[in-house]
Amino acid sequence: MKKRTINMKKSLAIAVAAAMMLGICPTAAPVNAADSDYKYVYASLDWAEYWQNENVYLASGSTLKSSSEEADARGEYDKGAFDVVTRATKNHGLHRGSFQCDAVIRDTDGKAYEISYWTSEEVSAKDENGQDTTKKVVYAVLTDGSKIQFDKGTITYTENGETKTATMEDYEVKGIKYVPVAVKTEDYADFCKKYSVTEDASAIEGGYTEKALKAYTKTAEVTADTNGLKVATKNADGTYSFAARKTGSNSGIKNEAQKTVDETKIVKTVRSADDAETYGAFIRVDLTGDAYGDLGANMQTVRWDYYGNDSTYTNKLATYGTKFAADNWMHKSMGVQLGLTKSLRCQLPEGTDGTGYWKVTVYALGYQDYTFEVQATSENIVSDNKGDEKVDTTELQKVVDEAKKLVKADYTASSWASFETELAEAEDELKTPHTQATVNEAIAHLQNAIKDLVKVQKETETKTPETKTDINNDKNNQTQTAYKAKVKLNSVKNTKGRKAVLKWKKVKNADGYVVYRATKKNGKYAAVKTINKGKTVTFTNKKLKKGKTYYYKIKAYKKVNGKKALGQFSAVKSVKIKK
Tens-digit pLDDT profile for residues 50-63: 999 999 999 999 99
Poorest-pLDDT segment among 184-188, 302-306, 568-572: 568-572
Query: Does 467 have pLDDT greater than 60?
Result: no
DSSP secondary structure letters along 241-263: EEPPPB--SB-SBTT-PPB---G
Single-letter amino acid, residue 110: G
Residue partners of 500: CB distance under 8 A and separation at least 6 = 492, 493, 494, 540, 541, 544, 550, 552, 575, 577
pLDDT higher at 475 or 300: 300
Helices (H), ranges, 85-238 = 188-194
Single-letter amino acid, residue 524: K
- Give SS3 for 112: strand
Residue partners of 376: CB distance under 8 A and separation at least 6 = 270, 283, 354, 355, 356, 358
- Dihedral over alpha carbons 463, 465, 466, 467 (to 10 degrees): 30
In sign, the C-alpha dihedral spanning 439, 441, 443, 449 is negative
- Give SS3 for 70: coil
Quick count: other Cβ atoms within 10 Å of Cβ 414?
17
Q: Are 445 and 429 in contact (CB under 8 A)?
A: no
pLDDT higher at 559 or 462: 559
**DSSP H or E run through 427:** helix 413-431
Rg, C-alpha atoms of the chain: 30
DSSP for residue 224: T
Q: What is the C-alpha separation between 233 and 528, in angstroms, rounded?
A: 72
In sign, the C-alpha dihedral spanning 21, 23, 24, 30 is positive
pLDDT higher at 400 or 321: 321
Quick count: other Cβ atoms within 10 Å of Cβ 105?
25
Query: Does 132 have pLDDT greater than 80?
Result: no
Q: What is the C-alpha separation between 117 and 65, in angstroms, rounded?
A: 26
Helices (H), ranges, 268-393 = 273-277, 292-298
Q: Residue 27's pLDDT is what?
A: 44
Q: Residue 121's pLDDT is what?
A: 86
Q: Residue 417's pLDDT is what?
A: 76
Query: Does 423 have pLDDT greater than 90?
Result: no
Q: What is the C-alpha separation between 42 and 197, in angstroms, rounded?
A: 6
Q: Is the pTM of this model over 0.85?
A: no
Query: Does 498 have pLDDT greater than 50?
Result: yes
Query: Does 481 have pLDDT greater than 60?
Result: no
Query: Does 28 have pLDDT greater than 60?
Result: no
According to the per-residue pLDDT averaged within each range, which of 262-271, 395-404, 422-431 is highest?
Answer: 262-271
Q: Residue 205's pLDDT is what?
A: 94
Q: Residue 5's pLDDT is what?
A: 28
All structural domains of the chain with their residue ranges: 1-30, 31-69+83-242, 394-451, 468-576
Q: Residue 457's pLDDT is what?
A: 64
Closest CA to 560 of 505, 466, 485: 485
Query: Does 412 have pLDDT greater than 60?
Result: yes
Query: Does 375 have pLDDT greater than 80?
Result: yes
Q: Residue 13's pLDDT is what?
A: 39
Q: What is the C-alpha separation between 462 and 451, in angstroms, rounded?
A: 29
**Residue-wise burial string across 427-440, b where 16 or more C-beta atoms lie within 10 A, e elsewhere:** bebeeeebbbbbbb
Of all residues in the chain, what percent carry a pLDDT higher than 90?
A: 57
Query: Does 218 have pLDDT greater than 90?
Result: yes
Query: Does 391 have pLDDT greater than 50?
Result: yes
Q: Residue 89's pLDDT is what?
A: 65
Q: What is the C-alpha separation between 99 and 86, in angstroms, rounded?
A: 17
User: What would the mean pLDDT of 545-563 be, rounded to a whole number?
Assistant: 89
Which top CATH class is 468-576? mainly beta
Q: What is the C-alpha separation between 191 and 187, in angstroms, rounded?
A: 6
- Mean residue pLDDT of the chain comes to 85
Poorest-pLDDT segment among 244-258, 271-285, 301-315, 388-402: 388-402
Tens-digit pLDDT profile for residues 278-316: 778 999 999 999 999 999 999 999 999 999 999 999 999
Q: What is the C-alpha separation between 548 and 226, in angstroms, rounded?
A: 48
Q: What is the C-alpha separation between 348 and 284, in angstroms, rounded?
A: 15
